[in-house]
Structure 1
Amino acid sequence: MAFVPNHCYVAKNTILSMQKSLLKINEPDYEQCLADLFNGHAAAASPSCIVQPRTNAELQQAIRWCFEEDRKICIRGGGHSKQAAVDGAVMLDLSKHLHQVTLLDDGVHVKVQGGCNMGQLLRVLKESKRMVPVGTHPTPGFGLLCMGGIGHIGRSHGLTIDHICELRGWRSNGEPFLLHADKEDGNAWQMMRGAAIFLGIIGEATLKTSTRQPLQVKRTRDPLDRLWWWIQTAESLPKSWSCSLILGTPPDQNTAAVLAMAVSTMSDDSTTETTDLPHQWMANVNGQEELPNFNLPLQNGESEPEQSMTTSRYERLKTRNYSLSIPKGHGKELSDRLTMLMHQRPNQHCRIDLQHIGGAIGEIPIEETAYTGRGCEWSLVICGVSPPGCSQDDTDQANQWADQAFDLLRPMAQHCYIVERHPDSPIYQEQLKLAYGPLLEPLKQLKHQWDPYNRLALLETQ
């Protein structure tokens, strides 16, 4: 049954009790909080206010206040999403205080608060020689954790969501929920692992860890005309190895190239099966947090020094991203279409990543979670980039290139990994259909129960 506003939820002094956690427009801390966001679109947004709750009780209080005051909610975890800050919405910044990681007494399970990013999680687990598979970068937060979590060891260890054992949080009216595999909750447990952004605010997740394993990484920077060979080679690897690719322009040249980054857990079978895999740079590391950056390197294999963010939060790099999941077997056609797109780029900042999936990811029954791309081999991340200071025409061209890439690759795709959403785009409904397939209608029904007033992410085009 749908709920209706109930003003007895919130006392009249709610906003007064949150003063220490409340950042108002034009205040220095408000400006700094937005400037710290990774996503350029989010950094330039103007939420009506920012709440940085210090406790779960204060977070629940803030959610109830938003519901009573008919305010839209956006959630900042890692700060990578375009929707981390939205014009006019109340931004709940969980990263400031709610980022604790606690390994439980059994030494296997870990509790993670909603403001934690994946790098923080790995650093804590490192001390106990434990790990969970995470994405290709350390700074994403619960958006990655609860939507999928595709990384370098996913083919051998599965997605991040496959390790979630329990979720605690609140619906958009402040009503708490507790979900786990043994609890009778209809389809909420399935939907919250892959579609949580539409349904609720997660305050805490419990994950099952595994013994931390050393990794071997082999990297090669090749000309773009080697792409087909790398796709064929990657698709022939055992599941103990992944070989993800980046198509883009290295920082020290002007033409497009391919970076192949192959990663394996160190074991007798995995290290001997691919001894002939070509590489320019090889390293053995102790864990995921020690892997090289997943970016195109300089000619000597080193990463380009990170550039500091501009002083103005309005003058930041902006992107339009799509992620399509494609099964194996499209090698030559896929290579030809990707090569054509790289030659059509409006600027040298635009890139396409081919994150290698399959393996253990496909061994989980598809009905277990709301992530439906388990039968695919590649998660292609299309990234139309507008560099700082570019004109509106330049931005439009980068966005149009990303849209055209989506259209060109869509016939091969079986799934859309919908971490980044574009509800203002005509492509959005196609994204949703690809992301959830037959689960989309049950998801809409559940959203009507959990978030009937659409305080959270939309399942409809704006």
Structure 2
Amino acid sequence: MGKLCSFLEKHKRSFPIGLSGNTGMGYILTGGISPLSRSKGLAIDQIIEIKGFWGNGKEFHLLRPNTKNELTNEWKALCGAAIFLGIITQVKLKTQPLRPLLSWTANLSFSELSECINQAESWPNSLSLQWIYGDDIFAHAIGEIKNTDDESVMIKLLEKLPFSRNRIINKFNNMKSLPNLSFGNNNNYNNSNHSEVLGLLGPAWQEKNKQVLKILKELINKRPNKSCYIASQQLGGLTHLNDLDTSFIHRDAIWKPWINGAWEAHNQAKRKRTLEWMTECWNNLEFICPGVHLAQIHPHLEWHKKELSSAFEDWLPNLEELKAIHDPRNIMPPLK
């Protein structure tokens, strides 16, 4: 996505890429949640043409339907669940005018994170909040500047946010140039670990804010490895408005917390303990985040069936029918 961002910048255009510029086509096809999604929509909402091969080897070329009446199950399935059905070789995407971005970053205390989340839930669609919670708490608010008045409004909102230290408000040319949502050079977050990631989806926390944060604090205190963390990004706005149905069914979601579980490479006992911690996190957060975002899939883990059910709900049987037609030999990842 970083290369796409750089290419489009030459033509003064942009695309709502995610927090990492290192992701590829999978980012788009699994939904594509960007810090700009609240004002631009999901990445799958930008698709206007798809080419590829079904699991059975047959080639396809689908154009975005103009109306819901023209919508096919195949289009709905490919926008959010393509990985289970076939291989995508080409997509045609809508792009937007390139505009500067406003960035706010800071380290927070536990209570400050609670207040930042509370404020963000009443923000205009032009702003979004991302945060990561491990040994420390780091937050990143991002907004697109459409004009001088818009910038003034956003700065006033960002200046209301509490912080402990290292607050920086800056402007950037594109998403690829933004600071990473990470703990910087902290040696606890190293490359000698293996990891799994589970993304959840749920509504605004509102009056449950302090309850959820208390649960998060307890879970972080139980981390089996210092590289384990819980992070989140904000949805809403245009992600709620889909003129065509897709396989990203949790359109009412406001928060996408993701659980990053890590363990020492090749240590099966510690892997087992980390996966147990991830399961505990999921079980404890499910009441406020009942959905799953399958940006990562886990057919090798015992929770794969549950993650499919939580991601697709009533749409899952239809996906299974399409898989029986287009991938009868289960060449692609399983839907069971």
Common topology (TM > 0.5): yes
Note if contact 1:376-1:414 (Cα within 8 Å) is conserved in structure 2: no
TM-score if structure 2 supplies the norm length? 0.90
Deviating runs (4+, > 4 A) in structure 1? none
Q: Name the aligned partner's letter for residue 248 of structure 1.
A: G
Match of 2:247 in 1: 370
Match of 2:170 in 1: 283
User: How large is the Cα RMSD of the aligned pairs?
Assistant: 2.0
Counterpart pick for 2:330 among 422, 444, 454: 454
**Corresponding position: 1:271 with 2:145:** no
Q: Name the aligned partner's letter for residue 244 of structure 1.
A: Q
Query: How many percent identity over aligned positions?
Result: 29
**Corresponding position: 1:296 with 2:183:** yes
Aligned-pair distance for 1:308?
9.3
Q: Please, which runs of 5 or more residues in structure 1 have no aligned partner?
A: 1-117, 250-256, 298-302, 310-315
Pairs aligned (count): 322
Note if contact 1:179-1:185 (Cα within 8 Å) is conserved in structure 2: no
Q: Name the aligned partner's letter for residue 449 of structure 1.
A: I
After superposition, where does 1:299-448 map in structure 2 within 5 Å?
A: 316-328=192-204, 329=206, 330-365=208-243, 368-388=245-265, 391-448=267-324
After superposition, where does 1:198-237 map in structure 2 within 5 Å?
A: 198-237=84-123
**Corresponding position: 1:128 with 2:11:** yes
Q: Name the aligned partner's letter for residue 337 of structure 1.
A: I
Note if contact 1:170-1:176 (Cα within 8 Å) is conserved in structure 2: yes
CA distance in 2, matches of 1:450, 1:416: 24
CA distance in 2, matches of 1:220, 1:380: 19
Note if contact 1:217-1:263 (Cα within 8 Å) is conserved in structure 2: yes
Counterpart pick for 2:132 among 232, 246, 249: 246
Query: Over residues 389-419 of structure 1, what are the superposed CA-to-partner deviations in whole Å (9 max), with x where a residue is unaligned?
Result: x632222221111111011111222421012
**Corresponding position: 1:260 with 2:260:** no
Note if contact 1:264-1:270 (Cα within 8 Å) is conserved in structure 2: no
Aligned-pair distance for 1:271?
2.2
CA distance in 2, matches of 1:231, 1:341: 18
Query: Over residues 399-447 of structure 1, what are the superposed CA-to-partner deviations in whole Å (9 max), with x where a residue is unaligned?
Result: 1111110111112224210121222333222211111111111111011
After superposition, where does 1:80-91 map in structure 2 within 5 Å?
A: none
TM-score if structure 1 supplies the norm length? 0.66
Note if contact 2:190-2:227 (Cα within 8 Å) is conserved in structure 1: no
Aligned-pair distance for 1:173?
2.8
Aligned-pair distance for 1:269?
4.4
Aligned-pair distance for 1:202?
0.3
SS state of the match for residue 169, structure 1? strand
Query: Over residues 334-391 of structure 1, what are the superposed CA-to-partner deviations in whole Å (9 max), with x where a residue is unaligned?
Result: 11111111111112110111111111111224x5211012101100110111144x63
SS state of the match for residue 411, structure 1? coil
Q: Residues 215 and 387 (structure 1 numbering): CA distance in 2 closer, same or farther, change over 3 Å?
A: farther
Q: Please, which runs of 5 or more residues in structure 2 have no aligned partner?
A: none
Match of 2:23 in 1: 140
Note if contact 1:190-1:368 (Cα within 8 Å) is conserved in structure 2: yes
Query: Over residues 191-213 of structure 1, what are the superposed CA-to-partner deviations in whole Å (9 max), with x where a residue is unaligned?
Result: 10000000110000000111011
